[in-house]
Structure 1
């Protein structure tokens, strides 16, 4: 294939690309800005840039063409088809707030959260019904996970600890 290079860019365009490269929170946009900067400043061709950024040569060529046609705005992802995500940042935040509170403190008739109970409570509160695996996935993304409850048996009997120890040690006869 023939080598493709971009036309000379003005200093304003270069500073705009440099700004985008250093401030964009999206790593894909940063890589695209880097592709254009490598071509403009280092005079590298698409094949050389592809090896540096670990992308296919044809991908680099497409981003060159899109930048040439649309400018810096062309480096962002195009809108995608399909339904938008149901879960909003507010829903995620409320889920994490809810799981950090004890259910009894909220007036609920149970002591421990399960993913199903969280899903029910949030569906009642927000009107959005999420599946149990979705709630678990959202919790993991928030750095939390529900574990199985550890059941312990206790007694108000003051001699309970002594009696429990006697049951655990084998009787000598």
Structure 2
């Protein structure tokens, strides 16, 4: 049987930094790593930590190794390779500006933006076509809320006739109702 592995004794500053990462880490992955180090320093075994965090045993060993060699900074995510981001700060600014502008003022025949419409508009304006999910992510990051448009015919009705019928309906509601006329 393999001997139990625990993290080395933490210095006071490391303990404070781990606590800070655990409480206010920028994302869940970092908070989970900090919690694993914290639990080990408190005397929990790797088996117990696996049960508490619900993660792989090897991941905990990897986090311990990284912490032992690089300290607290090793628990943060490293930059990953991949496709560069296609949307720029200018794209985001123009997207926000477009969403806050009535589409009719931009020459469109509609009054409400949808994801499909704003995406097509931005493709025309910026020559960058993003997926609807990416546009939604940008909107969320910018604090904009997307709601599905409610199409009504309220503006098409005759206001005078509607008011007259509404008054009649109110009178009917207020009058005593007798289902059996005599």
State if a TM-score over 0.5 links the two structures. Answer: yes
Q: TM-score, normalised by structure 2?
A: 0.69
| Deviates further, 141-150 or 114-123 | 141-150
| Residue 86 (structure 1) aligns with | 86
| Deviates further, 123-132 or 63-72 | 123-132
SS of the aligned residue for 2:156 comes to coil
Cα displacement string for residues 73-101 of structure 1 (whole angstroms, at most 9, x for unaligned residues):
11011222211332356645643442342
| Residue 128 (structure 2) aligns with | 128
CA-CA distance at 1:66 after TM superposition: 0.9
How many residue pairs were aligned?
A: 159
Task: Note the residue ranges of structure 2 that are not aligned, 5 or more in a row.
Answer: 166-182
| Deviates further, 42-51 or 79-88 | 79-88
CA distance in 2, matches of 1:146, 1:94: 21
Cα displacement string for residues 114-166 of structure 1 (whole angstroms, at most 9, x for unaligned residues):
444322321243332224565466557743134364457837x898x48xx9x
CA distance in 2, matches of 1:158, 1:144: 30
CA distance in 2, matches of 1:71, 1:158: 71
CA distance in 2, matches of 1:22, 1:137: 25
Aligned-residue Cα RMSD (Å) equals: 3.1
1:102-121 residue pairs with structure 2 within 5 A? 102-106=102-106, 108-112=107-111, 113-121=113-121
CA distance in 1, matches of 2:140, 2:45: 42
CA distance in 2, matches of 1:132, 1:35: 37
Q: TM-score, normalised by structure 1?
A: 0.72
Task: Note the residue ranges of structure 1 that are not aligned, 5 or more in a row.
Answer: 166-173
